[in-house]
Amino acid sequence: MKLTKIATIGTLVLSIAGLSACNNMMPSKTAAMKAPMHSQSMAKMNVVQVAQSNPDFSLLVEAVVAADLAGALSNPNANYTIFAPTNAAFVQVLQETGMSKAQLFANKSLLTKILGYHVINGAAPVYAKDVKPGNITMFSKDTLMVTNQGKLMDENGRTTNIIKTDIAANNGVVHVIDRVLLPK
């Protein structure tokens, strides 16, 4: 049963990547597409609005909406730490898993689990200076490892680079990553 779920997740993710590529969703890397810099105006936005403000998070925003998580992630009383994959990361994971975007977004329980694996809801947001090597329990109840090299390792042994840190929001902080994290 677990093997079937992993295969299904893989297929969904790859399909999303394929559809995104077909829809020309993977823009070339330009200065305009880089993660937003921390600013006073960003700190007034919630984590969802921070993602919405950057076109390189359009697939992440689309996924959050498809999973009906935008309202919860906009909670002004929360302290979220979000590991936000770029559009290129979504395209990569769809290719890696063989899933289409439509397949992944249609599987709400799987999509919710994957997105929850990118969120920490703690007493306070976790900024880069606070990160130490070790295991973290994510919102999805799955374990994410921070390596000694400062990379993230998902439960499948895949490593992810944190390419931009500490984008402050009024209900947490966003860190940009170059790969979608996949729980088992």
Listed by start position, the domains of the chain span 40-85+108-177
Q: What is the pTM of this model?
A: 0.78
Give tens-digit pLDDT for 51-78: 999 999 999 999 999 999 999 999 999 9
Give tens-digit pLDDT for 124-175: 999 999 989 999 999 999 999 999 999 999 999 999 999 999 999 999 999 9
- Indicate the pairing of strand 172-177 with strand 80-85: parallel
Architecture of domain 40-85+108-177: Roll (2.30)
Give tens-digit pLDDT for 1-31: 443 343 334 433 333 333 333 333 333 333 3
Terminal-to-terminal C-alpha distance of the chain: 12
